[in-house]
Amino acid sequence: MVDFTPRDDLSPGANSLVEEALQTQAKHKHETLGWKHWLLVLLKRHGPMAESLVDGLDAKELAKLLRKEVGKADVGEPLDADKLVAQALERAAKQGKERASERDLAAVILQAAGYEVAETSYVPTGPASESGGAGAEAVAFGGKARRPTPTIEKYGRDLTALAAQGKLHRIVGREQEIEGILRALCRRTKRNPALVGPAGVGKTAIVEGLAQRIVADDVPEVLKGVRLLELQPSILTAGAGVVGELQKRMKAILQEASQPGIILFIDELHSIVGAGGVRGTEDIGSLLKPALARGDIACIGATTDDEYRRYIEPDRALERRFNPIAVHETSREVTLMIMGAHREKLLALRNVQVHDEVLPWLVSFAGEYLRTRTFPDKAVDLLEQCVASAVVKGESEVTLARAQAVAQEMVGMPIDLNMRLDALEQAIQESGLLTPDDTAALLDRLNVTLRGLDLQPLRPAAVVLLTGDAVTSGNALAEAMAETLYGGDDRIVDLDFSQYDGAEDVNTLVGPPPGYIGFEGRRPLHALMQMPRSVLLVKNVHGCHPEVREAFGQALSDGVVAERGGGRIYLSDAVVLMTAAAGGAVHRTIAGFGRERAEDKQVTELGRAVAGQLGAGFVEWIDLIFAQVPTTQEGQRKWVDRNLLERISRGYRSHGLQLEWDDSLISWILNQQESHPTRGDLTRFVEERLGEALIPHLPGAGAGEVRVQVSVKKGKLHVEPQ
């Protein structure tokens, strides 16, 4: 990146052009900034504009030639940035403008390259002050619309007026998308571009960038003097409950928008479907369709891919009127440029300075820890949160340390991965949940995936299956991972797949097709949308219908649950922990294991046995299968004390009975292993025997909390009130 400070006497688009020319020089490491640098950038950004200024110029062919010449260090005669800007300002002043636009720069660049530029006159128009408010800069917009637009302004906002007042953010790195909008608007028919892309990629910002281009006179001749007005469906439908009220409002809006020089913008385009009336007959979308079909109005829309497929595409008559333009996530480099522009705006607005090293760190952090969100929104969101935190604390700057603390708070977990993994290892060892080999395997997997170093970053951080005796560690292991990796044991999404024993239960997982009952309802996996960094605990995966398991296996493969309605639930930030009771083949395989389960042959045999129970296609996407538990005396004592008894105690505590126990109870439980060889059998035995002894001590309704000590004397359970 080059050190460039935007100038107030240049339009946003002109500032971007200057910055990109300097970056082109720096990229090629050329000592001199020549006119070929400038012309190449101009043709790349605004080929149609250059062609409109010079008769017979072929922008694409000339750009190809210039790329070769610039690549060979043939940059033409020097053309200093200050000199170029001075000439552009002189040209703008002659036209009565206070700022130079991209068109002014283009004219100077083309003249420096030896072309004869077709001069165009500038006529200031009155409506700028009318639309922009007192003190708004007189710019060439609004001249074509001769009739007032009170209804549209009542239910929306004038983006060109806001741009004239400098109230919109400077747009960076979206020239290609803006050019796509301009091409669509210059068509004779179907001049309704629809920006379609994931949430957070900056679709609305692109339209605001277009408004700035209109105000700066950096648009084709046919679009000069137009007004860009945003219509907000939610405001439009508010208070329109009386029959005919919405139709009345829409009629007035369409009359105002049908005059030359008006372009409508509808953010959240999908919201017009079904808004204000019966879907397909009396809603906003249906009232718009005739005007769109006749070409009476020009309309820009913006919505997500999912919402476009879900709402717009099924209405073929509505979908046919729009010209989709794909908007992709910005690169990290472009995001950094956008962050720089936002930093300047925040400095002016909040008087908080953000240190230089903070911006690249925030971009890197957002890329690693906010993988289900998109650039630039996720990085800008972090920046604004850092500045807001500084304002609240009365600080005048954001340091790297402050940014790291804020980011950690936003994601809800410690940033230091080594610290988190060490804490997880300690929790597993203290509770005797897994064997040392299994613990090491789990930590090795997480050490790679949580750093974003795996080859399939969209897949879950780990997919773990507990079977055999390890099944009894399911809840405790989920709690340990949620607490240490994600910052709290509330970060668990708990599903019991034994409830999904019918083929129709796939609907519970991925939703029914559009139009079916329950289509709009909330499903269990939706909790991951609010808490993407969680442990997804899937119990009894062996007990569900094969079609349910197949659908879930596809989600494990892709790292996303693709709902039938078009929604997407990402698993990439989650750890998936599943349990499956061991079937006959699995039991025989586990029984053949010695105390050490690290040998490849044994692991392969276990995988085959589990594949026979759950299906090879499903098991393919399981990273780790654990079937053993610690067999050392110390490991077993830890499991009984901190897992089994603690979980049982938690249940009685909720009924007002506080349990305490001593080593005699732990030793007694371990002595029952010979007659109850699996942890499942042992757990059920302990639950039942303790139940017989403790239930009589439960406090009655309205009574206070009761505390008891449980021990074993002469081979029998003894409960003593404290």
Higher pLDDT, 129 or 413: 413
Cα gap 249→227, rounded to integer Å: 20
Q: Summarize the confidence of residues 288-300 as an average pLDDT.
A: 91
Task: Find how far residue 596's CA is from the centre of its chain.
Answer: 43
DSSP string, 2-20: ------TTB-HHHHHHHHH
Strand positions, DSSP E, 441-598: 462-466, 492-496, 535-539, 560-562, 568-570, 575-579
What does DSSP assign to residue 310?
I
Residue pLDDT, tens place only, 447-468:
999 887 888 888 999 999 999 8
Residue pLDDT, tens place only, 352-392:
999 999 999 999 999 888 877 899 999 999 999 999 999 99
Cα-Cα-Cα-Cα torsion 642, 646, 647, 649, nearest 10 degrees, comes to 170
Q: Which two tokens stand for residue 91?
A: 């040209």
Structure confidence at residue 521 as a pLDDT band (50, 70, 90): low
Q: Which of 194-203, 391-400, 464-473, 599-608 has the lowest mean pLDDT?
A: 599-608
Measuring CA to CA, which residue among 401, 377, 376, 373 is closest to residue 389? 401
Q: Which single residue is written with the structure tokens 């029998």?
A: 716
DSSP string, 412-439: TS-S-HHHHHHHHHHHHHHHT-S-HHHH
pLDDT at 140 over 90: no
| Topology (CATH) of 336-411 | Helicase, Ruva Protein; domain 3 (1.10.8)
Query: Do strands 227-231 and 262-267 pair parallel, antiparallel, or not at all (unpaired)?
Result: parallel
Domains 336-411 and 635-721 share a fold: yes
In terms of pTM, does the model score above 0.75?
no
Q: Which single residue is written with the structure tokens 């339009």?
A: 11
Structure confidence at residue 127 as a pLDDT band (50, 70, 90): very low
CATH code 3.40.50.1400 for 635-721: no
pLDDT at 571: 93
| Topology (CATH) of 417-626 | Rossmann fold (3.40.50)
Structure confidence at residue 597 as a pLDDT band (50, 70, 90): very low
Q: Which two tokens stand for residue 407?
A: 């980011």
Helices 102-112 and 12-28, axial angle in degrees (round to 10): 40
pLDDT at 173 over 90: no
**Per-domain residue ranges of the chain:** 12-112, 127-326, 336-411, 417-626, 635-721
Residue pLDDT, tens place only, 214-248:
988 889 988 988 999 999 888 888 887 787 888 88
If phi over 0 gives left and psi between -120 and 50 gives alpha, with beta otherwise, what is residue 413? beta
pLDDT at 354: 95
| Topology (CATH) of 127-326 | Rossmann fold (3.40.50)
| Percent over 70 (pLDDT), the chain | 90
Q: Summarize the confidence of residues 51-61 as an average pLDDT.
A: 82
Structure confidence at residue 576 as a pLDDT band (50, 70, 90): very high
For 268, counting Cβ atoms within 10 Å of its Cβ (0-12 exposed, 13-18 middle, 19+ buried), the class is middle
> 252 near 49, Cβ under 8 Å?
no
Q: Which single residue is written with the structure tokens 């922008």?
A: 59
Structure confidence at residue 716 as a pLDDT band (50, 70, 90): very high
For 52, counting Cβ atoms within 10 Å of its Cβ (0-12 exposed, 13-18 middle, 19+ buried), the class is middle
**Cis link prior to 696 (omega < 30° from 0)?**
no
> 177 near 327, Cβ under 8 Å?
yes
